[in-house]
Chain A
Amino acid sequence: MKMNRNRTFYYIKEGVSSIFNHSLMSFASVCIIIAFLVIMGSFILLAVNINALVGELENDNIILAHIDETVSESEARALEHTILSIPNVTNVVFTTNREAYENFIGRHEDEGRFGDIDYTVFRHRFSIFVEDVALIAETQQELRHIPEIARTSANLTVARALVNVRNIVSWVSIIVVGVLLAISLFIMSNTIKLATFERREEISIMKMVGATNSFIRWPFIFEGFILGLTGALIAFVSIMALYGFAAGRVIEIEAGLFQLVVFSTISVPLFLLFAGIGFGVGVGGSAFALNRYLKV
C-alpha cells in the first residue's frame, strides 16, 4: 500500500477527526485497553517479584563439600578449579577447618561448653553456588566423583520446593496472561466492531464512490494506532503510579521481608510490551473489524 504525502496527511487528518467525531466509542476503546493493560501489568509485576524472591532464595541454596581430613589445606584449595569446571557451578567459597571451627564457636559462644574442642575435628570445606537449583542433585553427584571430597550435603527438599514454586509461578503467569489476552481481544474486537458498525453507512458511501479498500482502511488504522498507543501510555503511567504506591505500602508493612524489584529495571520491557499490545490491538483490531464491510 503506497502512499504519497498528500494522502498520508489526509489519512492522519481523517483518523484524528474520526476519534473526536465518535468520541464515545473512542473513549470506550481506550478505557478497555487501559483496563486490560493495567490488570495484565499488575500480574506481570507480581510474577516478576515472586520470581525475584524465589531467585533470592535459590541463591541461598548451596552445596557444602567437605574435604577428606587427610588432604592438606593447600591441596584442598587447589580443588577449586576442578569444582568450578563442573557444569552448573557458578562460584565456590573455601573455608578452612580453623575458620569453620571459629564460626561454630562464634555461634555458640554463650554456651561455653565447646571451648575445649580441637579445630581439627572440623574439615576444610567448599560452599558451592549453583546456577540452576533444579540440577542440584546432578551437581552433587558430580562432586562425589572427586576423591578428595569426603562428603557433600545439600537441602534437596528446599531445592525441589523452590523449583516447584518457580514452575508454578511461570505456568500460572502464562495461563493468566493468556486468558486475560483472550478476554481482552474479544472485548476489544467487539468494541471495534461496534465502532465500525456505527460507520457502516460511511464505509458503504466510500465504496460507492470508488474508494479502494486501502483508502478506506488507512484512516481506521491511524485511528486504531492513536487510540492503542494512548491507552498503552495511560496504562503505563497508571501502573507505574500504582506500583510506586504498592511498593511504599509493602516496605512500610513488611520492612526487611524482601526487596521489591525496582520499577526502573523492568520499565523498558514493560513499556515496549504495553506499546506493542496497544499497537496490535488498535491497528490489528481496526483492520480486522473492517473486513466484513469491505466485501461489497
Chain B
Amino acid sequence: MIRMTDVFKEYANGTKALKGVTFELNAGEFAFLIGPSGSGKSTIIRLLIGEIAPSDGEVIVNGQDMDNIKMRKMPYLRRTIGVIFQDFRLIENKTVFENVAFAMRVIGASNKEIRQRVPYVLELVGLEFKAKSRPDELSGGEQQRVAIARALVNNPRLIIADEPTGNLDPARSLEILLLLKKINDLGTTVLIVTHEKPLVDQFSQRVIAIDGGRIVNDGMDGYYDYEDE
C-alpha cells in the first residue's frame, strides 16, 4: 500500500526535511504518523500524494513508484487515495452534497451513480440531514466530516489524513478519529498524520514517530516522547 525506502528530501533552499525514512503500511492497516512541528510529517504527505518528488530513495503508493510516475497518470493515482486536510479544503460555494459529488464527477460518474452513492457516504459520516447546507453553515467537526465523506466517496484503497483534528476541540477530535477507525474497519487503509500525542495515546494502534527527518519509533507499544513547540 505504502512503502518508503531510505527516502531523503532536500528542498531547493537547502532544508533537509527527510534523512533516510523507511517504513511500510500494508493493506487494511491503521497507523498514526506522529512528530513535532518541522519533523518531516508534511513532507511525507506531500511525497505520498505526488506533490513533490524524493531527492533519493523510493516511494511506492498503491503499487506506483512516485518518482517515475508520468504527470498525466497522476490524477488516476490520486483517485485511489483519499486525502483529508486540517483546513478541510471544501469549496465554499457548493453545498455539502455538491462538495462530495464533485469528487465523483471528477472520475466521470453518472448522475445516477452520484445520487445513489453520495447519500450513503453522508449517512456514514452522520451528515445525511446537512446535504443542502453550505460549508460556512457547518461547525468545524461537521466540515471535517464532509471532507472525510469526499475522501471516501470514490471508495479509495488508502486514506491519508493530514492533521485532521488540528482545527477541532478535543471531543470533536476524538469523534473524527473514531470515524476514521470505523472506515478502517470497513477495509480501507488509514494513515493519520498528527502532532497531538494525547489524542493518539487513547488508541491502541500502530504509531510511527518521526523527528528531525528520521523515523525514531515504529510500533504498537509506546513511542518516542517529544515536547512540541
Name A's B-contacting residues (CB within 8 A): 6-7, 10, 21, 201-202, 204-213, 215, 296
Nearest to B71 among chain A residues (CB) is A295
Q: How far apart are A201's CB and chain B's nearest CB, in angstroms?
A: 7
Q: Are B75 and A210 interface neighbours, CB within 8 A?
A: yes
- Check B108–A7 contact: CB distance below 8 A: yes
Query: Which single member of B90, B93, B106, B111 contacts A210 (CB below 8 Å)?
Result: B106
Distance A10 CA – B110 CA, assembled complex (angstroms): 11
Whether A296 lies near B51 (C-beta < 8 A) is yes
Cβ of A211: which chain B residues have Cβ within 8 Å of it? 75, 106
The 29 listed contacts between A and B (C-beta, < 8 Å) are: A6-B110, A6-B111, A7-B108, A21-B93, A201-B89, A202-B91, A204-B89, A205-B90, A205-B91, A206-B106, A207-B75, A207-B78, A208-B49, A208-B78, A208-B89, A209-B78, A209-B79, A209-B83, A209-B102, A209-B154, A210-B75, A210-B78, A210-B79, A210-B107, A211-B106, A212-B75, A212-B106, A213-B75, A296-B51
Q: Mark B55-77, 1 if CB is under 8 A from A, else 0.
A: 00000000000000000100111
Question: Which residue from chain A places its CB closest to the CB of B108 in the assembled complex?
Answer: A7
A209 touching B106 in the complex, CB below 8 Å, given contacts A21-B93, A202-B91, A296-B51: yes
Interface contacts beyond A205-B91, A208-B49, A209-B79: sample of 4 additional A-B pairs, CB < 8 Å, sorted by A: A201-B89, A210-B79, A212-B75, A212-B106
The distance in angstroms between the C-alpha atoms of A208 and B85, with both chains bound, is: 10
Docked Cα-Cα span, A207 to B120, in Å, equals 24
Once A10-B105, A210-B106, A211-B106 are accepted as A-B contacts, the answer to whether A205 and B75 lie under 8 Å apart by CB is no
Residues 75 to 115 of chain B near chain A (Cβ within 8 Å): 75-79, 83, 89-91, 93, 102-103, 105-108, 110-111
Ranked 4 nearest A-B pairs via Cβ: A210-B79, A210-B78, A209-B103, A211-B106
- In the assembled complex, the CB of B42 is this many whole angstroms from the nearest CB of chain A, namely 14
CB-CB under 8 A from A212, the residues of chain B are 72, 75, 106
* Residues of A with C-beta under 8 A to B103: 209-210
Contacts of A204 in B (CB 8 A): 89
Q: Could you say which of B75, B79, B105 has the most chain A C-beta atoms within 10 Å of its C-beta?
A: B75
Counting CB contacts under 8 A, is B145 at the interface? no
Q: Find chain B residues with CB under 8 A from A202 CB.
A: 91
CB distance from A94 to the nearest CB of B (A): 75
Shortest CB-to-CB span from B133 to chain A, Å, is 17
- Least CB distance from B88 to A in Å reads 10
Chain A residues within 8 Å of B111, by CB: 6
- Interface flag for B9 (CB, 8 Å): no
A180 to chain B: closest CB distance in Å?
35
B41 at the interface (CB under 8 A from A): no
- The answer to whether A210 touches B89, judged by C-beta atoms less than 8 angstroms apart, is no
Q: Give the complex CA separation of A207 and B51 in angstroms.
A: 10
For residue B78, which residues in chain A have a CB less than 8 angstroms away from its CB? Answer: 207-210
- When distances are taken between beta carbons in the complex, the residues of chain A under 8 Å from B79 are 209-210
Question: How distant is A291 from chain B, measured CB to nearest CB, in Å?
Answer: 13
Q: Within the assembled complex, what's the spacing in Å between the Cα atoms of A31 and B105?
A: 33
Q: Are B89 and A205 in contact (CB under 8 A)?
A: yes
Name the residue of chain A whose CB is nearest to the CB of B88.
A205
Q: CA of A115 to CA of B83 in the docked complex: distance in angstroms? A: 107
In whole angstroms, what is the CA distance A64 to B103 when docked? 81
Q: Identify the closest chain A residue to B89 (Cβ).
A: A205
Bound CA span A6–B6, Å: 45
- Asked whether any CB of chain A lies closer than 8 Å to the CB of B195, the reply is no
A208 x B83 contact (CB < 8 A): yes
**Bound CA span A293–B133, Å:** 29
